[in-house]
Amino acid sequence: MRLSLPGLLTLCLLMACTDGSVTFPTKQKSQERVAAETHLTIVRINQDNITTFAKPHGGPEATKLSSAKTGEYKIGAGDVLSIYVFDHPELAVPSAQVEAGFMVKSDGSLSYPFLNTIPAAGKTVEELRADLTQGLTRYFPEPQVDIRVLAFNSQRVVVTGEVNRPGTLALDTKPMTLLDAINGAGGMDPDADARAVTVRRGGKLYTVDLASYMTGDLANNNPTLAAGDLVAVPRTRVMEAYVLGEINAAAAVDLSKDTITLTQAITRQGGLQQNRADARGVFVFRAQGKDMTVYQLDVSSPTGLLLGTQFELEVRDVVYITTSPLQRWNDTISRLLPTVSAYSTAQNLNP
C-alpha cells in the first residue's frame, strides 16, 4: 500500500497526538520494574516532602587549633646574636664570626671571650644577658652588656600548597598568625581554598576555615603559629552540578562557594526553552554508590518553582529537562520530511 505525502504527514500527526497524552511520572508498573533492576528510587517532589531536601546550615566551624602561647623570644640553635660590652672593644666580634655576630651552635651553646662556652638555647635575651653579666664580673667591674638577635634562624614555620612562594618563614619577637604566614609566602593562588587550610602541629592535623576570619564571621580562626607548624593551603575542589536538556544554557553549576537550589540553577542558566521543554519533566539524578535516586519536579506552575527554591543541589547532581511530547514529534517530522520529499519526487518521476 502506497501512502501519499499528505498521508504520511497525517500518520505522523496522529502518532504525535497519541504521545501527547503521556503523563509524569511513568506508569507505576514500569517504574517499579526499572527501579528493581537498577536500584533506582523515583521521588516526586511535592509540598509534603520538600522540607526533607532543605539542609540546615550551621555556618562556618571554629577551628580546634589553639593559638600558640606568646611571650619573650627563646634563643635557639642557629640564631645570630649581637653582644656588646660598653667600654670594652676588645670583646668585639672576632672576624671569623658570621654576620658580625655570635652564632648559637647546634648543641645550644655560645662561645664568648673569657667565658669559653655558655648555654644559650631556650633562654630569653634578658636571661642570657644576666648570665653574661655575671660571668664577666670576674674580669671586669660592673660590665654593661647589651644583646640583640641579628638573625632569627632557630624557630620556623613551613608554608606549602597553593601559595605564591612556598617555603619556610622565621619566627621572631613578633607573634605570627596564620594569615601573616600565608601573606609572608606571597599570598594565596587564585585556585586556593581558604576554607580548608590545614596546620600540622605536634603530630596532629587541624583544619582552619581562614575565609570565615577574613569575612569577619569567626575572629578566632586566625590562630598564632608555633615553631615547627606546617601550613598547607589546598586547591579548591571541583564541586559542580550539571544542568542539561531543554535549557537555554546547558552548563556546569559551581557549588563550591554558595548553596544552589534547583530553581536557582534553572534560572541562572536562562530558564527552560519555552517552545521545547516539558515543564512537568524537570528531573534531578543523584547517585549514591550503586544506588540512584531520581527526583521529579513539575514547574509548569509557580508553585513548582517555589518548591524548587527549597530543593538544594548536591555535588555531581545531574538536572535534566525533558522535551515536550509535541516538540518531540515535531522533531521526528522534521527528520522525516527530507525522506518524504525524496519519496514524493521519486513518485512524480515514476508515475
If you search the block for the grid coordinates 575572629, which residue do you land on? 219
Q: What is the pLDDT of residue 14?
A: 41
* Structure-model confidence comparison of residues 273 and 6, the more confident one: 273
Domains and CATH numbers, the chain: 15-44+239-330 (3.10.560.10), 80-151 (3.30.1950.10), 156-233 (3.10.560.10)
Does position 36 have pLDDT exceeding 50, yes or no? yes
Closest CA to 228 of 267, 171, 296, 179: 171
Q: Please check whether residue 249 is in contact with residue 270, taking contact to mean a CB–CB distance below 8 angstroms.
A: yes
Return the C-alpha cell found at 60.
562556618
The pLDDT tens digits for 202-251 are 899 999 999 999 988 888 999 999 999 999 999 988 888 999 988 999 99
Residue 223's pLDDT is: 95
Query: Which alpha helices (DSSP H) does 261-308 contain, by range?
Result: 262-268, 302-308
Residue-level pLDDT at 339 = 54
Backbone angles phi, psi at 69, to 5 degrees: -65, 135
The DSSP bridge pattern shows strands 167-170 and 109-112 to be unpaired
Q: 117-128 pLDDT, tens per residue?
A: 899 999 999 999
Q: Is the previous residue joined to 338 through a cis bond, with omega within 30 degrees of 0?
A: no
Q: Which residues touch 254 (CB under 8 Å, ≥6 apart)? A: 239, 240, 260
Question: What are the residues whose beta carbons fall under 8 Å from the beta carbon of 102, sequence distance 6 or more?
Answer: 80, 81, 82, 83, 93, 110, 111, 112
What percent of the chain lies above the pLDDT cut of 70? 77
Report the predicted TM-score, pTM, of the whole model to 2 decimal places: 0.64
